[in-house]
Every structure is written in structure tokens, then in C-alpha cells.
Amino acid sequence: MRVLIVEDDPMLGSALNRGIGQAGYSPTLAASGESGLELARDKPFDVVILDMNLPKMSGAELLKALRSEPQTQNLPVVVLTAMDATAQKVKTLDSGADDYMIKPFDFDELLARLRSVARRTQANTSGILQCGDIELDLDAKVVRKGGVVNVLTAKELKVLALLLERKNKIVSKSQIETQLYGYDEEIESNTVEVTIYSLRKKLGKDFVQTVRGVGYLVKQ
């Protein structure tokens, strides 16, 4: 699970980053609403932990921005805040937050809530991704080209899913590496290139386009 932490308190942010990593997940820390929004637009995350009292762009403003953009509108958000008034909680949930926790908090409960909102979102998302004559069934892990089943490796499936989820958008090498490798795993330097090459052999040499110096792209 890839977790974006938007928290401006250095000690708490560092503790969350460390604890989520030690729990086996892949955390990314943003110290402001602006950087959190930029990361959410640029990288694939499974859930966001959001503080409300952020400088400049507040948590409420960031939540509104996330819900207004197609690539982030369904991204699960767990608010973690010291603001404990019932009216504030209701307003935040009505504005699009998926869960709301009050500081101080129990870390194991936070992890459970992250897993819960991520599961709910996955359950509500269609299991089929398509681009042209390529169809990926996420639940069955089956790929079809023109109706004919193609056998892909686990790495190829992960990369294909990311490219199809973000079709018509450039996906960088670092984004693909984030998809392939978990927290604290050693990244092999040529894994992305080898996997893209293999996908082209199986699905068509022009299916994945290279945007030189930027990343990769599949176009509808």
C-alpha cells in the first residue's frame, strides 16, 4: 500500500513515515498542502493521511482540490487532526474525506483504518482496464489482446495496470519503480526498461510509447 502523508509537524511526520514503512507499506511525506497536491497528481497512491492545519493551503483546501481533479477524485483520504469538534468532523466528511481520526491517536488503529478505506475504494472500482484492443482484468489478472489471452508476468501486470490507469498521461520511470518495489527494497536499474520491452513484444511494439527523457505513455 502506497501512503501519502501530508503533515507539517516535522516530528509527527517523521514518526508516521517511519512507522508506516516499518509496517511494510510505502510512505511518502509531504510537509505542505501544495507539495501534497503535486505528489498526488504525479504519483500513484492508495491512500492519503491528511492533517487539516497546514500552512498556506489548508487541509480543507487540499481535500477540495483532490476531489475536483479526475486523477485524484477517488483517492481515499484519512484525516488526522487535533480538530475534535463534531461540526468540523461532519463538514470534513461531507466534503469528501473517507475517515476522520483525532490526535492523539493509536497507531495500530490508524493502520487498520488505512487498510479499510483502501479496501472499500478497491471494491468500488471497476476491475477492467482497457485501451484499444487491450483489456486487463485486475481481479482475474488476465490480459486480452483482441479477445485473445496473453500471459504476463507479475511485474508486467503491475506496469500494465499503472499505464492503463493513467492512459493518455506520461508515467515516469520512478513512478513505475514505485509500483514495482515496496518499502526498503533494492531497485534493479534496468527492470523498467526490460519490462516495457517485454510488454511491447507481447502487446505490440507501438503499444507503449517512450517520451524521451520523461517516461512512458499509452494512448487511447
Residue 59 predicted with pLDDT over 70: yes
**What Cα–Cα distance (Å) separates residue 132 from each residue in 84, 156, 159, 172, 177?**
49, 18, 17, 22, 25
**Coil, strand or helix at 171:** strand
CA dihedral angle for residue 16, residue 63, residue 98, residue 166, rounded to 10 degrees: -90
Report residue 125's pLDDT band, with 50, 70 and 90 as the boundaries: low
- With a cut of 60, say whether residue 108 has pLDDT above it: yes
Contact between 47 and 118 (Cβ < 8 Å): yes
- 78 has which bridge partners? 49, 99
Distance CA 99, CA 78 (A): 5
**What is this structure's pTM?**
0.59
Q: Which residue has the higher pLDDT, 220 or 157?
A: 157
Residue-averaged pLDDT of the chain: 88
Where residue 152 falls among pLDDT bands split at 50, 70, 90?
A: very high
% of the chain with per-residue pLDDT over 90 = 55
Say which range, 23-32, 84-93, 145-154, 175-184, has the weakest mean pLDDT. 175-184
Residue with cell 487498510: 115
Predicted confidence (pLDDT) at residue 43 exceeds the cutoff of 90: no
Residue 202 has pLDDT above 70, yes or no: yes
Q: Given a cut of 60, is residue 70 above it in pLDDT?
A: yes
Q: DSSP characters for 90-158?
A: HHHHHTT-SEEEESS--HHHHHHHHHHHHHHHHHTS-SEEEETTEEEETTTTEEEETTEEE---HHHHH
Q: pLDDT of 155-201, one tens digit each?
A: 999 899 889 888 888 888 888 887 777 545 677 778 999 999 999 99
Pairing of strands 26-30, 47-50: unpaired
CB 190 within 8 A of CB 146: no
